[in-house]
Amino acid sequence: MRFKIRALTPDQQIVEEIIDARTEADARLAIKNRGWVVSSLQQTGTLSILRSGRSGVRPGKFSLLLFTQELLALLNAGLTIVEALEALLEKEQSQEIRAVLSTVLTGLQEGKRFSKVLAEQEEYFPSLFVGIVQASESTSSLSPSLARFVEYQQRIDVVRNKIISSLIYPAILFLVGGAVTFFLLVYVVPRFAEVYRGTGRALPWSSQLLLNWGAFVTEHGSVFTLVCLAGILSLGIAIKGIWQRNGALGLVAKFPVFSESIRIYSLSRLYMTLGMLLDGGIPIVAALNTAASMVGANMQMALQQATASIESGVMLSEAFERYELTTPISQRLLRVGERTGELGKMLTQSANFYEGEITRWIDRFIRSFEPILMAVIGLIVGTIVVLLYMPIFDLADGLS
């Protein structure tokens, strides 16, 4: 396999190179033997293209995860934060990314705190990342904090990509099946209706019903077109509204069969975020306020109510249980964390448990839903075709 690597050389130069290796571990070992420090490694070819597309990274666009990985590699190599940013700026060719790095570097050279400079560019650096950096400044632990964020973001991306990948094939099947059905009902059936209208023969009631539909489409084509366009427009507006309020997961959660699984995924993301923030030294109330941006609108309201209760002196486990932000298993883990003083660790363990549950649900969904969807689409298309040809079979029986 071929891997594209980006690394820091002993003379403090950032280089990109494509190497051949059997596995990713072999590629990393080969780079390490050269004395280089790997900042990023990616398999080349179709798989890497799909992977980068799913993670939302586009060529020439600022990627927070890639920026964090490269910055962490440079800091671990012994560079200061200013030297690391200068090195990243020197090798970068994208004007957009250069503008972001230049703004950050200029702010640091002016004496501003790193977290404050990042907060001034909120379109590139979310509050979660800024909060982690801000907490690390008081303890001089920027590298460990960045490492925690990289691990956190990679785990979030893995689960998100699994969910998206599991929905791609059913969505394609649904669109293709819907297009075929629409073509049969709007184009093929009206033409069969014109052919059978002149035969003068009595047709089976099911075929007659279908052909009446074809005749209606032929006679009222303009009205039918307007109704279809209005329906598509209304559906698009409704989907856009849900998407803007709750995102893609909120849209999927509108289907009852997915709602509980999406809730578990949201809880997993919430616990993972809180665990990382608490382990980074951020106070629990500030961590809750930061984590609120990582969940949907409905869970945000419950989280705000829980935060208010915690500020008034209620334990986190009790507040989460009161506002339905736990399950029986996570509730026990939270209580253990409160007793032992390792609440961040218990939140992370809860997230790990839910990650496994989401993975198992995705596997079951793929194995069961796709065959069912194919069978339903085949049944609909097959029924339309059979109803169209039943009069022909009847005519053939009469001639015989």
Per residue in 34-80, pLDDT (tens digit) is: 777 776 677 664 333 334 333 344 444 788 888 888 888 888 888 88
Lowest mean pLDDT among 38-42, 252-256, 280-284, 356-360: 252-256
Question: Which pLDDT score, from 0 to 100, does residue 120 have?
Answer: 86
Question: Which pLDDT score, from 0 to 100, does residue 254 have?
Answer: 58
Q: How confident is the model at residue 33 (pLDDT cuts 50, 70, 90)?
A: low
pLDDT at 359 over 50: yes
Q: Are 271 and 104 in contact (CB under 8 A)?
A: no
Q: Do domains 2-157 and 160-400 have the same CATH topology?
A: yes
160-400 to CATH, choices 1.20.81.30, 3.40.1260.10, 3.90.550.10, 3.50.50.60: 1.20.81.30
Nearest to 136 by CA among 277, 295, 318: 277
Lowest mean pLDDT among 20-24, 64-68, 143-147, 267-271: 20-24
Q: Are 75 and 143 in contact (CB under 8 A)?
A: yes
pLDDT at 258 over 70: no
Half-sphere exposure of 342 (CA within 13 A, CB side): 8
> Which CATH code for domain 2-157?
1.20.81.30
- Rounded to two decimals, the pTM is 0.61
Mean pLDDT of 342-350: 86
Distance CA 324, CA 304 (A): 12
Mean pLDDT of 332-339: 88
| Domain boundary assignment for the chain | 2-157, 160-400
